[in-house]
């Protein structure tokens, strides 16, 4: 049995798509309200140039360190940077973190695919 993989070793370029991933440490009791606010912020991003798609994942276990994982795809790093520079988006993001009883710790980053597995 062989595993087919594709390795992308080239550094990112301005014309390559990027994946934005943000994992959240958040008290499980505050998830529902926070998810509603995340969805509202995501709607702002949906209409931005370069937006491809976004999915928010919720942990099945309340004991998981990261209760939420947001994965978004953008046509380029520049498109993502321009979209996240929107003052309305920034103020809503800050407000969402401040309106919870327990602290929320986001862990954002932009990533390139380096290994890709595809089902046979």
Q: What average pLDDT does the segment 46-68 reach? A: 94
Band (2; pLDDT cuts 50, 70, 90)? very low
Q: What average pLDDT does the segment 13-27 reach? A: 85
Q: What average pLDDT does the segment 72-94 reach? A: 88
Q: What average pLDDT does the segment 38-66 reach? A: 92
Query: In angstroms, rounded to a whole number, what is the distance separating the alpha carbons of residues 73 and 52?
Result: 5
E strand spans, the chain: 5-7, 18-25, 51-58, 68-74, 105-111, 115-117
In the numeric block, the tokens 């926070």 are attached to: 34
Q: What are phi and psi for residue 78, nearest 5 degrees?
A: -65, -40
**What is the value of pTM for the model shown?**
0.77
CATH number of 18-111: 3.30.70.100
Can you give the residue ranges of every domain in the chain?
A: 18-111
Closest by Cα among 36, 67, 42 to 54: 42
- The CA-CA-CA angle for residues 14, 17, 23, to 5°, reads 115
């Amino acid at each position: 049995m062989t595993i087919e993989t594709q390795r992308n070793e080239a550094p990112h370029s301005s014309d390559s798509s990027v994946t934005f991933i943000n994992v959240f440490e958040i008290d499980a009791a505050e998830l529902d309200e926070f998810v509603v606010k995340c969805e509202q912020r995501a709607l702002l991003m949906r209409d931005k140039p370069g937006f491809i798609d976004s999915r928010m994942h919720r942990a099945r276990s309340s004991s998981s360190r990261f209760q939420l994982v947001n994965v978004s795809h953008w046509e380029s790093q520049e498109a993502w940077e321009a979209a996240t520079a929107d003052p309305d988006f920034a103020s809503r993001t800050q407000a969402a973190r401040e309106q919870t009883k327990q602290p929320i710790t986001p862990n954002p980053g932009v990533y390139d695919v380096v290994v890709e597995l595809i089902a046979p």
